[in-house]
Each structure stands twice: as structure tokens, then as C-alpha cells.
Amino acid sequence: MVNTKVNLCGIELDNPVIPASGTFGFGYEFAELYDINCLGTFSFKGTTLEPRFGNPTPRIAECPEGMLNAVGLQNPGVDAVISEELPKLAKCFHKPVMANVSGFSEYEYVTTCERIDAIDSVGWIEVNISCPNVHGGGMSFGTSAEAAGQITRAVRAVTKKPLIIKLSPNVTDIASIAKACEAEGADAVSLINTLMGMRIDLRRKKPIIANKTGGYSGPAIKPVAIRMVYQVYDAVKIPIVGMGGVSTAEDVLEMMLAGATAVEVGAANLVNPFASRDIIADLPRVMEKYGVQNLTDIIGGAH
């Protein structure tokens, strides 16, 4: 009998599969389709201090082997998440959940994390310093080691929960940014977020997405994600949550061999709402196929 359990920052997961923020809502929507307690956990929709309507439409463009999105962090704001969304989630999900936090200033990150830190059902806080679809914040904090370290230090001062910093792939040296986050108190890093991309409508001769650019996700970005997880594993001692193009149980093993302790599933949930459930169901078969008894044994095994 294979063992799919992993430990992420001191919290045991039944398996390493985590639906990624922005692809799983606040969880209860998917609970209408299947029992989401089969998940390791999930990262809920990116939450900001104030409510956000998001970017103008159209926000989505299909691409070969993936998609572009520029939703723009649409969410009801942290107070509504705490008072309305999380109580609904508590009725159908009985494990610690991962909170995903975004902001446009150090004050917003700090204040939002401070409020989320008080919520018992939240196990980890995933701080997104890498969203490419908003202006005046988000990714700008994740493109330099100094800025990433500054946000990590500020948030670390107000939260006791495990702190995961979500990194941008739109940089030249992701390992140095990961090291800066580790040095300032991050308990883990998650990577990668989406790659900057664009599509142009041939009839209109204009960008398809109203925001002009969007974040590219899906199977096509997996080789980039694997490479970056591999590089960061060599650079830091803290756990890595790997993501980017994961859609099968085989992808989970590949990401873990590169260095991931847990693995987020993003765009695949938008293509098939049962994707994360099906990956988990198939994981024991794939582990047996490749002679893996305990998933923890293969973390970083390709190094």
C-alpha cells in the first residue's frame, strides 16, 4: 500500500494535491460536484483588503495548450471573505485551508494577512507577490529580491501561521528572490505563477483581452515550472509548492522529483472541474508504476 501523505510546514496533508488560487473559488462551488475533503487542501481565491471588481472584459483568451487570463483579482475583500465565504466553506470542507492574499502596498498585504491570521480554519497564508494582471502592485513586489524580502519581512511580523510566498516566473533569477524570502522568514515558497502573454484578434487587429496582456497557464508552461522548481530547490532549504501545467498524477511526481513538497493544480480545474479529484484517485496507481512507496522519499529526487 503506497503512502501519499506529505507534510507542508508542519501540517500533514493526506496527499500533495492542492487546487491553485483563482481556479477553485472558495471551494464550496466545487463541493456541489464532489467531496472536496479528498484534497490535500486548496488555495482559495486571491483576497485583497478592499473589494475588487477586477479587470474589464474580455478577460480570457484560449491558446494552444493553455489559456490567458486577466481577471484582475476580482474578490469581495477580506472582511466579506471572513464573514461570508469561509463560514460557507466550513460546512463542506473540514481540513485547514490555504488563504491566498494579494495587495497593492505593504500596508494592504500586512493588514489583510493580519486579519486572515486570526481565522482558525486557515492553515497557511500564501502571499501572492506575482500577479501579472493588475497595475500598481502584485507582480511588482515579486520581480526584485529586495522588494520580495521587504513584503515577506512585513507580513512575517503580523502572522504566526505558516507563510508561503508565491513567486513570479517573469524574472531573470527566481532563485535569488526565493532566497530573499527565506532570509526574511518565509516558511515556504510557491511557484510558478502565470507567464506574461498576449493574443491578437486578426479580425479586429487588436489584443483579445481588454487588459492587453494576461497570465499564460496550462500544460505548455510545465517545462518552465519544472526548471524553476528545480533551481529554487538547490537555492533554499524551505519547502516548495510547485505548480504550472500540472494536469496528471505523472505531473505531480515530476514536480516532486524537481523539488516540490506539494503540488498545485491550476488551469486544469477550469478545463475539467474534476481534475484535482481524478489526479488524487490516480496517484496510487502511478506511484506503484514507478516504484514509489512514500511520496516524501522522492522530493528533490532528481537532484
Residues noted as catalytic: 131
Task: Specify whether the CB–CB gap between 51 and 76 falls below 8 A.
Answer: yes
Give the 3-state DSSP-derived string for 178-215, with helices as H, strands as E and coil as C. HHHHHHCCCCEEEECCCEEECCEECCCCEECCCCCCEE
H-type alpha helices, 11-71: 28-31
| Nearest C-alpha neighbor of 41 from the set 112, 93, 2 | 93
CB-CB neighbours of 17 under 10 Å: 27
Distance CA 43, CA 294 (A): 24
Distance CA 196, CA 133 (A): 9
DSSP code of residue 83? I
